[in-house]
Amino acid sequence: MTRFAAPIAEQIWDMKYRLKDAGGTAIDLTVEDTWRRIARSLAAVEDDPKLWEDRFYAALEDFKYLPAGRITAGAGTGRAVTLFNCFVMGTIPDDMGGIFDMLKEAALTMQQGGGIGYDFSTIRPKGAPVAGVAADASGPLSFMDVWDAMCRTIMSAGSRRGAMMATMRCDHPDIEAFIAAKSDSARLRMFNLSVLVTDAFMEAVKADGPWELTFGDRVYHTVQARDLWNKIMRATYDYAEPGVIFIDRINAENNLSYCETISATNPCGEQPLPPYGACLLGSINLARLVTRPFEDGADIDSDALDDLVATAVRMMDNVVDSSKFPLPQQLEEARNKRRIGLGVTGLADALLMVGLRYGSQEAARQTSDWLRRIARAAYMASVQLATEKGAFPLFDADRFLASGAMMRMDEDVRAAIRKHGIRNALLTSIAPTGTISLYAGNVSSGIEPVFAYAYTRKVLQKDGTRTEEEVVDYAVQMWRDLKGDAPLPDHFVNAQTLAPLDHVRMQAAAQEWVDSSISKTINCPEDIGFEAFKDVYMAAYESGCKGCTTYRPNDVTGSVLSVAEEKPPAEAPEQVRGGDGEGAEVVYMSEPLDRPQALEGQTYKLKWPDSEHAIYLTINDIIVGGHRRPFEVFINSKNMEHYAWTVALTRMISAVFRRGGDVSFVVEELKAVFDPRGGAWVKGKYIPSILAAIGGVIERHMVAIGFLEGEGMGLKSDPQAQVVNLDLPRGRPCPSCGQYEMRMVEGCMTCASCGHSKCG
């Protein structure tokens, strides 16, 4: 009997979490092996490792406790990887040397797979004088472009990357440029953006008062606060960014406000962190703890929940001592404060099982009760750990208990902390769980509503064909198993029908008992009015949320996964870019183009300096809609050192070309790759890498056949280019599997077909 509740769960495990050797041979033969590997690794720091290994295994068994993906994939592998998901980096100095020192630290952190957050408010605004060089500053956005290029370079080098978060204060003189940055869909693609909104600004918005934009001691501009707020709202209404972080509330509520100031978060926002802070994440699967589901008296098993939380806290505390860290400052920060982020997943499924409608007042009260119990259990478990192993080094009882969050904590918990100390400075956070929720049997993600009761997923087979399988929500499948064909009860609700203010109600109910923050996306219908949209953010502020992220389908980021019956394809001419560029259209196709028996092509010789053998590129074309377009590439060299990557590049580029549509981004991505060992001068032009040279050859071929108008004239730089999608209402294709099933989940564009997430 398999432990997996759905085929997609086993596929996610095999693809992301199963330990394999360098050749791809499985070392974890079963998911039980994965659980045992994690349990043994995290118990190794205990005085009685065998005792705790068995207890940790029991918590992991049947997906009751779900460590974050980096722990599940990395613990016990012997690999030099960080088990922490994300980091907020050091404060960026306002000088060139310091800025590029920070860039180096970011690159080293991302190289190990960690997502990073940065506050760019510390860089002087564009146009400000720079002492000693007789020049004006280029401003923080210009340096964000550098960070963006660095992230793309690391990704193109094959490393798994995390996402990046950039924040900027609402009173920075460049805030309006920051707000508008994502209106260009080609700019800052590696970043999520959020504005740090202060209480004073929100009061000025409500009063329609003036607002000063300052840096240092100088006031650069004075604007109307409400006008600036409307610009933030209009940007996120039109293209889903920037998000909003209520930074004063975060600092006032922080248990560690006496020894740190927070000005940034990790990429999905659930962990506000100080400089060099790291987030360590894990989730209690509430859907697995419901007794008598869909019957009278259905509820969470409270004793089982308490025990599971206590074990999870101990496991997560051990990760602090087990993990590698990219930078020594990150290690010091983690061990001084021992911050962890225990959250939940499967909340919406659990509510369905106990008969409550997600978003209702009753569901919000139940959510608050469950999360209060989790917070109590977590804090008491951390107190117990302090009696065994000591409190975190920077613990100060009086100042710790005086923070906003701790003032609300139950008196018996406060008394225990005062008497014994506490092992972990902060304990609760609700993280994105898109991938691990699929791994756990497609339970609802985090505290999000059920996205869809069921959807069809296309699965690529080894012979190249695709089969379809139904992916069913965990609670819906349980209903089917228990009730057969009986219709779903009226309290079943999903993200397609939920009102935005119901999302806010649930986020606020959860936030009361979460000492860090919450990754939550408030889905808004495309036709929501602008004033109603703004009301969502004001409601989030007034109800005590620490931030607000919405998603409204738009032209820049695309639509979300459609679960309705698909409309017939729109009739549109089958054209590609080329010719005179007037009225050119791009066709996106869901299935690969068929290969004709014969193709016309061209072979190019590329001689790279200091390489003994030339590289030969053959590019074959196909005729679509009367236009010639690239269809496949073959890259060959006698140099056997090139063999593996040239074969891989041949297969990957050809697979992209056969998808149809505008594929000029292949050129853009290849030309952006630089070799850290140095590039070469070719025909009087500096080429940063051999991959960039290959990109240049492909670009010249595209120009020669009329697919591109000229060098550097790809889709992103051509304002006249139009995109026609022949299979509406789909969003953008998944960059991993190509399926049109990307959806916004907890601030991350996530593929429902393969589990790929923008956030790594």
Q: List beta partners, residue 689.
A: none
Residue with tokens 């108008």: 709
Question: Is 268 an annotated catalytic residue?
Answer: yes
From first CA to last CA, the distance across the chain in angstroms is 31
Residue 665 CA to residue 179 CA, distance in Å, equals: 25
Candidates 266, 318, 424, 494; catalytic one: 266
Nearest CA to 284 among 15, 68, 505?
68
**One of 268, 524, 754, 759 is an active-site residue; which one?**
268
User: What tokens were used for 488?
Assistant: 């779903």
The one catalytic residue among 53, 253, 260, 270: 270
The three-class DSSP label of residue 190 is: coil
Q: Taking every pair of C-alpha atoms in the chain, what is the biggest distance, in angstroms?
A: 81
For residue 266, indicate whether it is catalytic. Answer: yes
Q: What is the DSSP letter of 110?
A: H
CA separation (Å) from 302 to 312, 371, 377, 444, 525? 15, 11, 10, 20, 37
Bridge partners, 709 (sequence order)? none
Residue where the block lists tokens 């595209």:
702
CA pair distance 414, 146, nearest whole angstrom: 46
CA 453 to chain centre: 23
Q: Is the Cβ–Cβ distance between 117 and 293 less than 8 Å?
A: no
Q: Are 270 and 429 in contact (CB under 8 A)?
A: yes
Q: Which residues of 103-141 are buried (b: 16+ CB within 10 A; e: fewer)?
A: bebbbebbebbbbbbbbbbbbbbeebeeeeeeeebbbbb
Q: Which residues pair with 759 in a beta bridge?
A: none
Q: Element (H or E) spanning 632, and its range?
A: strand 627-637
Residues in contact with 298: Cβ distance below 8 Å, sequence separation at least 6, in sequence order: 290, 291, 292, 353, 354, 355
Q: Which residues are catalytic?
A: 266, 268, 270
